[in-house]
Structure 1
Amino acid sequence: MYGGTVIDHFGINCADWERSKAFYDKVLGVLGYTRQMDFGVAIGYGTDGHPDFWIADMSTGAAAGPNREVHIAFAAKDAESVQAFFRTALALGVEPLHEPRLWPEYHENYYGAFVRDPDGNNVEAVFHGGLGVA
């Protein structure tokens, strides 16, 4: 849930998927972080069911190819803020990736919107309280 922090989570793409998984499993493990979600081509690390840091296999799916975009998600205080983020970004002429909606594949109250920033990065606003307020 929104805790007054600007960054909710972020992710990077990895060229050597197997080596990267082994590396992050071990180095984050000694810091007390574990795999919280694993989609096969993307793994989220964190604690208590909340993945804060993601790695993605850049040889498959949306991460495939030479573009090494960064994904960063900014914490929003409510669903209306997610919608305002999306409208504002579009007014600035950036590419929409995903309109504001619930993403139950992440969790039942995950409400987010995604755009591509002027440099090609995947930027998201997310609220963890569904369509209601915190």
Structure 2
Amino acid sequence: MSHANHAPLVNRSKLEADIQGGSVAKGHNRQEVSDCFNHVEWSECMETHTLHRGRLIDHLQLVVKDLTASERFYRAILATLDVPIGGGGEGYFWADELFVTSIDSPAALGALTGRHHLAFQAQDRATVDRFYQAALAHGGQDNGAPGERVYHPGYYAAFVLDPDGNNIEAVYHGEAKRSAESVEIKF
């Protein structure tokens, strides 16, 4: 495969040396990352980088038509991921950074949020399988059975549509650890 018209792939041995030497943050600089993300062959790009994820999202709100059906669905799938429902009240419930509100709640302003794609990290392939089965048993629709995907080697995922048509995924592509157990917010 010719890469003449594309940015070059990052030199793996250089990145590994930089990581060990600590001379470049997490092993690569902005230009190398930019070159890779502009590259057409995503699977090759993903093989040459180590991705580091932190707690970028403060919260995500989904507005739903049927809060009871959605709570039943999310309670079941989140249980497979060892994430409990954190609480709830009139017109809403939450789990970790996910807030789900009814269309008539003050936060929703009377409008559905539209279709979203939300991916949850799974601890292993068996968890992805359990997520998929729990989703189907609690009102979800198949949108891609558990299996390897082409996004990069080792990307094992399942996709379902929640009761409002949101594309919900569970993915395992190696050990996932949070950068912090929690972020404390005082208000």
TM range (shorter): 0.3 to 0.5
Which structure has greater helix proportion? 2
Taking structure 1 as the reference length, what is the TM-score of the superposition? 0.48
Taking structure 2 as the reference length, what is the TM-score of the superposition? 0.35
Which structure has greater strand proportion? 1
- Greater C-alpha Rg: 2
